[in-house]
Structure 1
Amino acid sequence: MKTVLITGANKGIGFETAKQLAQFNYFVYLGSRDKKLGLEAIRKLNDLGITNVETIVIDIADINSVRQARQQLERKIDSLDILINNAAIAGDQPQNFSACKLENLRAIFDVNFFGTIQTTQEFLPLLRKSSQPSIINVSSEVGSLAGHSSPNRNVGRDKFHAYGSSKTALNAFTIMLANELRDTGVMVNSVTPGHTATDLNQFQGTKTVEQGAVPIVKLATQAHPDITGKFFRDEGEVAW
């Protein structure tokens, strides 16, 4: 049974992704900053008859928490097949760069960018022990520079400059890490769930969490060594 760690998995898209992957017979570790919330998520899955799941406490912005989670997982498994870097924060409004507070920008990057990188670095040795390791970074179309520079761009994305730029940085991390690891067999890709209704956007999204999890689950279950350094959505590849 393949093993998966999903950060920020006690709710929203992370929880739904965990549910769907568990139903595909993966053993899923649900990362949660709060142990109580993580256990509540496990109980919900157990109530659905899903037992191949377990919670693990991890705050990706806290390196000590990340290291403790890695040590805990190393005591349980010999290798990790898939790391899904899902945990993220939206930050406060306003986010347009002419008015955004730098404290807000730093807080967003501390989780969405630096937190993801330090989590990946900690779990990479465990991933390398897998026969087909995969790192999936949950990004967003508001991080697409092609989208922002298009004459037909969605002006609604201007409300998320800080959040979007953190996802642009995350996409750069995806490409560069994929290139670095290209000859090692470790696949690294970005994926956007689309505009999904979660507490990240005050449930204003147009897609359900069930729909939003689909491209993430597809990328996890249909991994191929030649597919790395890419950015995907439901309809296929996204322009960086």
Structure 2
Amino acid sequence: MDGGVISCVTKARIAVVTGGNKGIGLEVCRQLAVNGVIVVLTARDETRGAAAVNKLKELGLYDVTFHQLDVTDASSISKLADFLRSSFGKLDILVNNAAIGGVELVGDPSFVEQLSGMTGPQRLEFKWKHLRETCDAAKECLQTNYYGVGRVTEALLPLLQSSSDGRIVNLSSDYGLLRLFKNEEVKQELNYIENLTEERLDELLETFLKDFEAGAVEERGWPTELSAYKVAKAAMNSYSRVLARRHPELRVNCVDPGFVKTDMNYNSGILTPEEAGSKVLAVALLPEAGVTGALFENGKESSFV
């Protein structure tokens, strides 16, 4: 169920934000709406999604509606596409924000109270002692953070192509940088976009999962600690560049919002969602016919390596 259909204004920009009910996603929805964009806020949980929309409307932002979306569910994705097609006939901005950490918490989350006064690296090191990686969590992470992005994007491509200025913004991370890979062959494949295909990306991720299940992540040169998250983000970066090359009529870019206080990292980050949201907004609203296939960090183009 959607949270109320906004009548289509064909000249207005239409945006979809995945995982929009809290954290960075909610802030991106708010900032887009403040800038006159009609926003479709999506989330897995209907109650939380509807509550998030009501929160924005209390701020006077009425051009926001909710639609349920589970990025791992083909039926849910199809329903969103149908809703957008019938309500607006196009999509101008897709922000792929929905993501999970790919780890399980060990013990009491109250450990976060001890993070005060620590630097970013210190917080990460301390937090890691309270987390563990499992095969199930790794698989779920890839399904959400990589395959979910791909499925939503492919389903909404026709609507983006119906826009005069369609653009896709994929939330990335410095954890997706290729310098974290010790396996030089994999690193080169992920960076050599001219030859890379989505089929090959699937094969590489299958290999990663096999190595993960075999306990051979470090031996095979994959990133360690938050392995699945790092591999998923790196694959998503490569997919974004492949997509940008395949669809030059669209603007497809990635943005690293920084180490942000969110539920996913138990609020151990340094930046606020507002600060992160402004970075995402800047890429979402880049000038028409601007750069594509790029990674933005702190407002500037950055290296994927």
TM over 0.5: yes
CA distance in 2: counterparts of 1:16 and 1:158, whole angstroms = 31
Partner SS state of residue 75, structure 1 = helix
Contact 2:104 2:134 in 1 (8 A): no
CA distance in 2: counterparts of 1:123 and 1:115, whole angstroms = 12
CA distance in 2: counterparts of 1:226 and 1:210, whole angstroms = 24
The letter for the 1-side match of 2:89 is: D
How far off is 1:192 after superposition? 1.1
CA distance in 2: counterparts of 1:191 and 1:158, whole angstroms = 22
Greater Rg by CA: 2
Point out where structure 2 has 5 or more consecutive residues left out of the alignment: 1-11, 106-127, 183-222
Q: Does 1:175 align with 2:249?
A: no
Point out where structure 1 has 5 or more consecutive residues left out of the alignment: 150-156
Q: Does 1:71 align with 2:82?
A: yes
Q: Does 1:189 align with 2:222?
A: no
Contact 1:214 1:234 in 2 (8 A): no
Q: Does 1:51 align with 2:117?
A: no
- How much is the aligned-residue C-alpha RMSD, in angstroms? 1.9
1:34-113 equivalences under 5 Å are 34-93=45-104, 100-113=133-146
CA distance in 1: counterparts of 2:275 and 2:139, whole angstroms = 31
Give the counterpart of 1:161 among 214, 227, 235.
227
CA distance in 1: counterparts of 2:140 and 2:91, whole angstroms = 29
Contact 1:146 1:239 in 2 (8 A): no
**TM-score of the two chains, using structure 1 as the length reference:** 0.90
Deviation string, structure 1 residues 14-48 (Cα, Å, up to 9, x no partner): 00000011000100000111111111001101111
Give the match for residue 275 of structure 2: 211
Deviation string, structure 1 residues 201-240 (Cα, Å, up to 9, x no partner): 0000000000011111001112432410000121412221
How far off is 1:164 after superposition? 1.1
The letter for the 1-side match of 2:172 is: S
The letter for the 2-side match of 1:203 is: N
Contact 2:103 2:134 in 1 (8 A): no
Percent identity over the alignment is 32
CA distance in 2: counterparts of 1:55 and 1:144, whole angstroms = 33
How far off is 1:93 after superposition? 4.4
Contact 2:282 2:299 in 1 (8 A): no
| Number of residue equivalences | 229
Give the counterpart of 2:266 among 196, 202, 205.
202
1:23-34 equivalences under 5 Å are 23-34=34-45
CA distance in 2: counterparts of 1:41 and 1:233, whole angstroms = 27
CA distance in 2: counterparts of 1:35 and 1:22, whole angstroms = 20
Mark the CA change 1:35 to 1:93 in structure 2 (over 3 Å): closer, same or farther: closer
CA distance in 2: counterparts of 1:221 and 1:122, whole angstroms = 22
Contact 1:79 1:129 in 2 (8 A): yes
The letter for the 1-side match of 2:274 is: E
Partner SS state of residue 90, structure 2 = coil
How far off is 1:147 after superposition? 5.8
Contact 1:140 1:191 in 2 (8 A): yes
How far off is 1:68 after superposition? 0.8
Contact 1:105 1:162 in 2 (8 A): yes
**TM-score of the two chains, using structure 2 as the length reference:** 0.72
Partner SS state of residue 95, structure 2 = strand
How far off is 1:103 after superposition? 2.1
